[in-house]
Amino acid sequence: MGKGFQVAFEKAWEAYKGDTVSVGEARRYWTTSDGPLKFQIAHAEINAILKLNEVTDQNIRDNIRTFTLYSC
């Protein structure tokens, strides 16, 4: 198990112990410049992927394909 997954799991465990859910910002509809996208449920990881075009930090933009998204 990698460090990233370990951190994601620890955050999920903290949320569980705090009687909350670990996935935030669930949405049913997402509007883009191309029009609304309809998802049954768009959890935070889907929202993060859809918002990548809003990243302004050039270092992040140049290296975005080297990142890994972890979710628990």
Could you report the per-residue pLDDT of 20-32, keeping only the tens digit for each?
765 555 555 556 5
pLDDT at 58 over 70: yes
What are the residue ranges spanned by the domains of the chain?
Answer: 3-66
Between CA 10 and CA 16 the distance in angstroms is 10
pLDDT interval class at 66 (50, 70, 90): very high
DSSP secondary structure string for all residues of 8-63: HHHHHHHHHHTTS-S----EEEEEETTEEEEEEEE-HHHHHHHTGGG---HHHHHH
